[in-house]
Amino acid sequence: MDFSPILISLKTASLSIVITFFLGIACARLVVRLKHDKLKMVLDGILTLPLVLPPTVMGFFLLYVIGVKRPVGEFFLEYFGVKLAFSWTATVIAAVAISFPMMYRSARGAFEQVDQNLVHAARTLGMSERKIFWKVMMPLALPGVASGGVLSFARGLGEFGATAMVAGNIAGKTRTLPLAVYSHVAAGNMEGAYQYVAIIVVISFMVVVSMNYFTMRGSVYGKRKRRREP
């Protein structure tokens, strides 16, 4: 059994979730704080678009941007000597692009459920907006944010369409677990495909358990908070 698809997938998902986590939180905070409803609706639509587009279409857009003959790809290749398309970096870019909307939507929903009375009380105490965000909003929204992070990690780990478009299916370099399953099935090696499928199923089950854990924690926290209220 070739373990390179497992290692590549884990490395890709691990780096992509770090990027997606903080990027999703930042964008969610920006949208929540917007006062203009129409601008909020348009920006939310743009940020959520990768969630509804077919992954291959997202891969096409990414390839159009970071391809060797495209502005971003040509810039990195000329000034840094880094080829973005059809490299391991491209697998991370694809995973971030596809998993970002889930992190963003989860974080936004969690922030919108925070009791605004607590936020207003913090402002009356003279706390800065940054402190309010990190000391008040984040602790209250943490179960929802963490659940979104877990889901985004799984989505990045299981990404196929965009990765195939922008990174290719290069053995030992860009072949992730889903691409390994596809390659083995295409080659008629069903036994090899079964092994990779089993690994994906186990990881997916662990993701579902983790999501349920964070959901239960959020529910328990909400019940405790209501009991403390007069």
Domains of the chain: 4-228 (1.10.3720.10)
Helix spans in the chain (H): 4-33, 37-52, 55-66, 71-79, 88-112, 116-124, 129-132, 138-157, 161-166, 177-186, 190-228
pLDDT interval class at 227 (50, 70, 90): low
Contacting residues for 106 by C-beta, under 8 A, at least 6 apart: 24, 144, 145, 147, 148, 149, 151, 152
Q: Cα(163)–Cα(156) distance, rounded to whole angstroms? A: 10
pLDDT interval class at 226 (50, 70, 90): very low
Q: Cα(100)–Cα(20) distance, rounded to whole angstroms? A: 5
Per-residue pLDDT, 230: 45
Contacting residues for 177 by C-beta, under 8 A, at least 6 apart: 5, 6, 9, 157, 158, 196, 199, 200
Q: What is the pTM of this model?
A: 0.86
Mean pLDDT value of segment 70-78: 87
Given a cut of 70, whether residue 76 has pLDDT beyond it is: yes
Instruction: Please give the distance of CA 152 from its chain centroid, rounded to a whole number.
Output: 4
Mean pLDDT value of segment 189-209: 89
pLDDT tens for each residue of 92-141: 999 999 999 999 999 999 999 888 888 888 888 888 888 888 888 888 88
pLDDT interval class at 209 (50, 70, 90): confident
Mean pLDDT value of segment 148-172: 90
